[in-house]
């Protein structure tokens, strides 16, 4: 069931779909993880994908980014079908993800993390590298400049020389975003970016996200933190039991009885238990 957008709450942005998830189904053996998933993410939009645990959100992420192959259906990004593409090729199209945990290279420095993330932006060939040609030096210099810019953007540049594993949890998550940004995304997929963060870390993260949205990066967010989701999303899609149960702006989702029953009810109970 889909909720129509009430007049006056319609997003002002032009609705050009960037990412189209078209009738995706995923079966693990006999188990149906996703039965029929169908939604678009428009250019420049912040779309949140929510749903109770086990609803299939992370599976959907893995499908979109090529880490899993769907049993049925197609994902398109800016018109290109992602079927059969390897994850690093999908990244090459500008579709970059973060992970729930393990989001940084733990034992190397923060700066080297971002340098690693800049991999696809390097222009030197293997021969440039082996023979130390000027092209190599030029390319490395550009990468270093870009790395500093990105660290500044997410606000961890003061920790550049530190080992990534020594950062606080919140800073590691920010570095995870920096890594993703380094891969030059036109669209970011963030998998529960603020889970486990404290309030000030979450606030810092929201500021970075707002900056990114200002830069025109399309964002697909999977998150449990309802205040954050409601505060930042242009639109929300809700999944339960491997299918979509609602699609609309935050206000409409908050008032949708099916969503309340499926998700917010469970969430409220869970919060009460915690």
Is residue 31 part of the contact set for other proteins (CB under 8 A)?
no
Residue closer to other proteins (CB basis): 96 or 194: 96
Helices (H) and strands (E) in the chain, counts: 11, 10
- As measured in angstroms, the least distance from the Cβ of 53 to other proteins is 19
Q: Is 1 in the site for other proteins (CB under 8 A)?
A: no
| Segment interacting with other proteins (CB under 8 A) among 9-17, 26-34, 43-51, 142-150 | 142-150
* CB contact at 8 A, 194 and 202: yes
- Contact call for residue 179 and other proteins (CB under 8 A): yes
Site for other proteins (CB under 8 A): which residue of 120, 207, 269, 270? Answer: 120
Map tokens 């399309």 to a residue. 218
Stretch of 132-140, 192-200, 228-236, 251-259 lying at the interface with other proteins (CB under 8 A): 132-140
Does the protein bind other proteins through residue 165 (CB under 8 A)?
A: yes
Which of residues 179 and 253 has its CB atom nearest to other proteins in the complex?
Answer: 179
SS3 of 248, please? strand
CB of 1 to other proteins, least distance (A): 33
Q: Which is nearer to other proteins, 68 or 244 (CB)?
A: 68
Binding positions for other proteins, 58-117, rule CB under 8 A: 65, 67, 86-88, 91-92, 96-99, 102-109, 111-112, 115-117
Residue with tokens 């449990």: 224
Distance CA 248, CA 23 (A): 18
Question: How many of the other CB atoms lie within 10 Å of CB of 242?
Answer: 22
Other Cβ atoms less than 10 A from the Cβ of 237: the count is 26
For other proteins (CB under 8 A), the number of binding residues is 46
Q: How much of the chain is in helix, strand and coil states, percent to nearest 5? A: 45, 25, 35
Which one among 40, 136, 192, 225 touches other proteins, defined by CB under 8 A?
136
How remote is the C-alpha of 148 from its chain's centroid?
Answer: 22
Strand order in the sheet with 17-28: 80-81, 72-77, 17-28, 31-42, 243-248, 235-240, 46-50, 218-222, 187-191, 95-97
CA distance 115 to 109: 10
Q: Return the residues of window 196-235 that contact other proteins according to CB under 8 A.
A: none
By beta-carbon proximity to other proteins, the closer residue of 116 and 195 is: 116
Query: Using CB under 8 A as the criterion, which residues of the chain lie in contact with other proteins when the complex forms?
Result: 65, 67, 86-88, 91-92, 96-99, 102-109, 111-112, 115-117, 119-120, 122, 124, 126, 129-130, 132, 136, 139-140, 143-144, 147, 160-161, 163, 165, 179-180, 182-183
């Amino acid at each position: 069931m889909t909720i129509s957008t009430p007049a006056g709450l319609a997003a002002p942005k032009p609705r050009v779909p960037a990412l189209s998830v078209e009738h995706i189904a995923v079966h693990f053996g006999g188990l149906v993880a996703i039965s029929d998933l169908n939604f678009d993410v428009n250019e420049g939009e912040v779309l949140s994908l929510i749903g109770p645990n086990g609803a299939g959100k992370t599976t959907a992420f893995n499908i979109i980014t090529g880490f899993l192959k769907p049993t049925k259906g197609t994902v398109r990004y800016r018109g290109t079908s992602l079927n059969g593409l390897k994850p690093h090729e999908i990244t090459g199209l500008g579709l970059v993800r973060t992970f729930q945990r393990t989001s940084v290279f733990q034992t190397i420095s923060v700066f080297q993390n971002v340098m690693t993330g800049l991999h696809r932006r390097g222009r030197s060939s293997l021969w440039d590298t082996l023979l130390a040609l000027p092209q190599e030096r030029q390319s490395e210099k550009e990468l270093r400049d870009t790395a500093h810019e990105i660290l500044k953007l997410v606000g961890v540049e003061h920790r550049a020389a530190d080992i990534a594993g020594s950062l606080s949890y919140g800073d590691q998550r920010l570095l995870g975003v920096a890594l993703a940004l380094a891969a030059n995304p036109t669209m970011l997929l963030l998998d529960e970016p603020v889970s486990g963060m404290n309030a000030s870390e979450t606030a810092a993260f929201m500021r970075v996200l707002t900056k990114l949205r200002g830069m025109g990066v399309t964002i697909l967010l999977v998150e449990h933190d309802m205040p954050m989701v409601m505060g930042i999303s242009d639109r929300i899609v809700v999944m339960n039991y491997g299918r979509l149960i609602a699609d609309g702006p935050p206000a409409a989702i908050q008032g949708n009885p099916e969503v309340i029953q499926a998700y917010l009810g469970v969430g409220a109970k869970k919060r009460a238990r915690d």
